[in-house]
């Protein structure tokens, strides 16, 4: 499992990559995931229109750090003119890879004709990727689902068009848009995509440990795996998947997460992000319910630090995975 994957000229340190996660794959989390051995970590999806209209929130989502060996941003949009303009914005210039989102199932995105709505318009997917390829030297990749609905499964067609347009890798979430995030992951359809294209395909959906990763590799032949939810609260999953041991304390994870985020993001926003992250870091830990209630009530980083001192036996405990 240690053959390396390359996306165009960008060589990944591992086949296991962090799937983009809105609200979670912030700069602090990505640095942690890289430190535990993720091969690639992408920003959450950012709106091409938001970038063009200089949205401050959109810009914050594109903060990156020198500790990220590869910088990847994910954009979404449905209008070629906006994509072309967005690619010229200075906020996107430092990225090695630009990933295009053709998978988001959320109603407000889909009703704008963006995200997974584009799966219903294969030629538009082609035009959007072609526009990216023609307007930047960065490597362009795409993230798709197997189709929009059970009666419209077209991942192979979409993947071939995306490859033809010049994309250098594709991540396939093995579900339709209608399934959102539950229901069976169609490994056979991912395999069909792997067989149809000559660029690396990352399998995605429900990989949470070595067994599920092996099943994904064996049944699909994918070049790598994108891990989403199983990494939330557990960036060390990348050590495990890479067959390595990792040691950590929650306080060390949380402090380094906060300090990296704070270099780029206003404190108030950091506190809000960290509430969700800490709830996830505490998953499966005794007293987590009691601590989570307290975490949701705090409003400053100082209070957060004090809370960790109050529960030293949990936050300072040594874990080994």
Ligand X SMILES: Cc1cc2nc3c(=O)[nH]c(=O)nc-3n(C[C@H](O)[C@H](O)[C@H](O)COP(=O)(O)O)c2cc1C
The CB density around residue 112, as the number of other CB atoms within 10 Å, is 16
Nearer CB in complex with ligand X: 214/300:
214
Distance CA 77, CA 58 (A): 13
Q: Is 41 a catalytic residue?
A: no
Question: How far apart are CB 130 and ligand X at their closest, in Å?
Answer: 20
Distance CA 47, CA 90 (A): 15
Instruction: Choose which of 7, 21, 73, 270 interacts with ligand X (CB under 6 A).
Output: 21
Nearer CB in complex with ligand X: 259/321:
321
Strands 139-149 and 152-153: antiparallel
Distance CA 149, CA 116 (A): 10
Instruction: Choose which of 19, 155, 169, 250 interacts with ligand X (CB under 6 A).
Output: 19
Stretch of 82-90, 226-234, 256-264, 305-313 lying at the interface with ligand X (CB under 6 A): 226-234
- Which residue in the list 42, 104, 131, 222 is annotated as catalytic? 104
Instruction: Choose which of 45, 97, 222, 254 interacts with ligand X (CB under 6 A).
Output: 45
Is 277 an interacting residue with respect to ligand X (CB under 6 A)?
A: no
Identify residues 193-222 at the interface with ligand X (CB under 6 A). Answer: 204-207
Question: How far apart are CB 45 and ligand X at their closest, in Å?
Answer: 4
Nearer CB in complex with ligand X: 29/315:
29
Instruction: Choose which of 58, 78, 101, 154 interacts with ligand X (CB under 6 A).
Output: 101
Stretch of 62-70, 80-88, 100-108, 236-244 lying at the interface with ligand X (CB under 6 A): 100-108
Number of residues that bind ligand X (CB under 6 A): 22
Please compute, for residue 181, the number of CA atoms within 13 A of its CA located in the half-sphere on the CB side: 9
Q: For ligand X, what does the binding mask look like between residues 138 and 167, x meaning CB under 6 A?
A: -----x------------------------
Instruction: Choose which of 10, 12, 39, 44 interacts with ligand X (CB under 6 A).
Output: 44
Question: How far apart are CB 197 and ligand X at their closest, in Å?
Answer: 19
Catalytic site positions: 104
Residues that bind ligand X (CB under 6 A): 19-23, 44-45, 74, 101, 103-104, 143, 173, 181, 204-207, 227-230
């Amino acid at each position: 499992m240690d053959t390396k994957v390359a996306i165009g000229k960008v060589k990944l340190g591992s086949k296991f990559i962090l799937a983009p996660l809105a609200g979670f794959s912030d700069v602090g989390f990505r640095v942690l995931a890289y430190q535990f051995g993720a091969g690639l970590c992408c920003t959450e999806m950012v709106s091409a229109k938001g970038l063009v209209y200089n949205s401050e929130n959109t810009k914050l989502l594109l903060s990156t750090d020198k500790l990220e060996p590869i910088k990847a941003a994910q954009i979404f949009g449905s209008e070629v003119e906006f994509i072309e303009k967005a690619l010229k914005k200075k906020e996107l210039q430092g990225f090695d890879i630009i990933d295009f989102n053709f998978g988001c199932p959320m109603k407000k995105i889909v009703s704008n004709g963006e995200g997974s709505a584009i799966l219903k318009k294969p030629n538009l997917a082609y035009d959007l990727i072609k526009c990216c390829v023609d307007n930047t030297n960065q490597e362009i990749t795409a993230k798709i689902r197997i189709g929009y609905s059970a009666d419209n499964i077209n991942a192979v067609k979409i993947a071939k068009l995306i490859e033809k347009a010049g994309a250098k890798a594709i991540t396939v979430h093995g579900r339709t848009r209608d399934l959102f995030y539950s229901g069976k992951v169609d490994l056979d359809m991912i395999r069909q995509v792997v067989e149809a294209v000559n660029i690396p395909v990352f399998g995605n959906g429900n990989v949470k440990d070595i067994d599920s990763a092996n099943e994904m590799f064996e049944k699909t032949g994918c070049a790598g795996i994108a891990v989403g939810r199983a990494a939330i609260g557990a960036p060390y999953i990348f050590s495990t998947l890479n067959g390595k041991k990792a040691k950590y304390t929650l306080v060390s994870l949380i402090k380094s997460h906060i300090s990296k985020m704070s270099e780029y993001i206003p404190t108030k926003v950091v506190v809000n992000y960290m509430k969700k992250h800490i709830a996830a870091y505490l998953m499966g830990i005794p007293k987590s319910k009691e601590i989570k209630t307290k975490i949701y009530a705090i409003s400053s980083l100082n209070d957060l630090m004090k809370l960790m001192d109050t529960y030293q036996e949990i936050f300072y405990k040594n874990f080994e995975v």
